[in-house]
């Protein structure tokens, strides 16, 4: 049991977490020109922190296509 919620409460909490984390990161990865499905990796502990640094410091294909440099 997850904090006394039972299996259905735990499943609901997981769905809410995925909706709050994966959906925005899916849009962010897509918008920067990367594969949007990388957002699924954001639910893996520690890997999500690594991916945030990758997203922050890696060149973005969408910016390179436009020929502009944001940094």
pLDDT at 49: 93
pLDDT tens, residue by residue, 31-62: 988 888 888 898 888 999 999 999 889 888 88
Q: Give CA–CA dist 53/71, Å, rounded.
A: 15
Q: How many CB atoms are closer than 10 A to CB 16?
A: 10
């Amino acid at each position: 049991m997850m904090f006394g919620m039972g299996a259905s409460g735990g499943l609901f909490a997981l769905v809410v977490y995925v909706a709050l984390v994966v959906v925005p990161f899916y849009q962010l990865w897509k918008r920067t020109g990367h594969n949007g499905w990388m957002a699924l990796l954001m639910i893996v502990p520690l890997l999500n922190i690594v991916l945030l640094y990758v997203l922050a410091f890696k060149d973005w294909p969408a910016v390179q296509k436009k020929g502009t440099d944001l940094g």
